[in-house]
Chains A and B, each alone.
Chain A
């Protein structure tokens, strides 16, 4: 049986850990609401953008943009949105599993995969695997800004333009609820055709000044908005996941302390009994 002193030291250290996890839990809880509001605020833009692009794929322009053309996939690009910091439970790990699964899937179909990483955790993980990383962006903070994402997105769009990748996918955590966040794979390029909306069969927009310039600008904004939405959603997921993970860590630490306290009390009592017995037997011997 370990001595009382060792047990006391162990209890003290677990209490310190508990304090830290409790603090992290509270920070995550207070940030959670704001990040969720931000996520909701970003939604109308992404939705409107999607519906405009949906209408666009329905239109019949003379000019076909490269982003709308399907071509045989020889290489795929993946934009992976992960968190900057850990202590978020299985959030990143689940996402990375999905990424590896997707990569393997494409490799079996004979397509190379290259990565664009957003978030430090993704960079740390995928650096060890031998997959080409073409762009990375870390430390976006709790308020990702569109400006910070434009650079890394552009790298992938250029790669698509130049034919180095034939398909662009976006992988991120989707916020389902406080208890559940699911990794999601979304195809960005070529832009997937929308379901039929109630628009007439043959029609087209008036483009001002010309179709190519507008489509370029619009599609770029579309991709950026999708990635921005993913980044904002990912932050919301991060906070929720951290809150839940830290809550269970705090609870576990509490349970551990209780168990150790019991062991400590027993050890202490045993030592006292032993001492008493020694004194009594010593007195009897005199």
Chain B
């Protein structure tokens, strides 16, 4: 019997995932980190990207998060997502369109706030696309 860690992924709109895992990968602000059971208490912010949960029965489950916060206790990982959707629900076309819009806004060089917004949007769109691609590979 391998050691497991309780994982809860929640967003303001609802609970996304709750269950045990052997290991979790999260996109922390300083880069992706993997969390095993009995991890030291940790508090960090998240970037837009994917959270990958490895359930005890094997395999891997990806979830998309649009940023948020992460709390780690030795036997519990809590992901407080800003906007979290199940990766399967993500519309690739919408992500593409968002990416294009963001790039266009970047090119048109408007004021600073718009640029910052566009950059953030671009980052999210790229993260979304990555998840979609990975999903496609899994499904073959």
Contact = CB atoms under 8 A, between A and B. Distances in A.
A56 B43 contact: yes
Interface in B57-76: 68-69, 71, 73
A204 B71 CA distance: 12
A48 interface: yes
A48 B8 contact: yes
Interface stretch (A209-217, A249-257, A259-267): A209-217
A52 B71 contact: yes
A225 B12 contact: yes
A263 B13 CA distance: 55
B18 to A, nearest CB: 8
A175 to B, nearest CB: 17
- The size bracket of the interface on B is 20 to 34
A42 B10 CA distance: 9
**Chain A contact residues: over half helix, strand or loop, or mixed?**
helix
Interface in B78-103: 78, 80, 82
Interface string A49-62: 10110011001000
**Chain B contact residues: over half helix, strand or loop, or mixed?**
strand
Interface in A35-78: 41-42, 44-45, 48-49, 51-52, 55-56, 59
B34 interface: no
A214 B45 contact: yes
Contacts of B30: 208-209
B29 A208 contact: yes
A207 B69 CA distance: 12
A218 B68 CA distance: 8
Nearest to B84: A45
A237 to B, nearest CB: 19
A206 B69 contact: no
The interface centre, meaning the residue of B43, B44, B45 with most chain A CB atoms within 10 A of its CB, is: B43
A209 B71 contact: no
A239 to B, nearest CB: 18
Contacts of B80: 45, 48-49, 52, 218, 221
A88 B16 CA distance: 33
B40 interface: yes
The 6 closest A-B pairs by CB, nearest first: A41-B14, A208-B44, A205-B43, A44-B15, A45-B10, A52-B71
26 contacts: A41-B15, A42-B13, A42-B14, A44-B10, A45-B11, A45-B12, A48-B10, A52-B71, A55-B73, A56-B43, A59-B41, A203-B41, A205-B42, A207-B44, A208-B30, A208-B42, A208-B43, A214-B43, A217-B45, A217-B69, A218-B45, A218-B69, A218-B80, A221-B80, A221-B82, A225-B12
Interface of A: 41-42, 44-45, 48-49, 51-52, 55-56, 59, 146, 203-209, 213-214, 217-218, 221, 225, 228
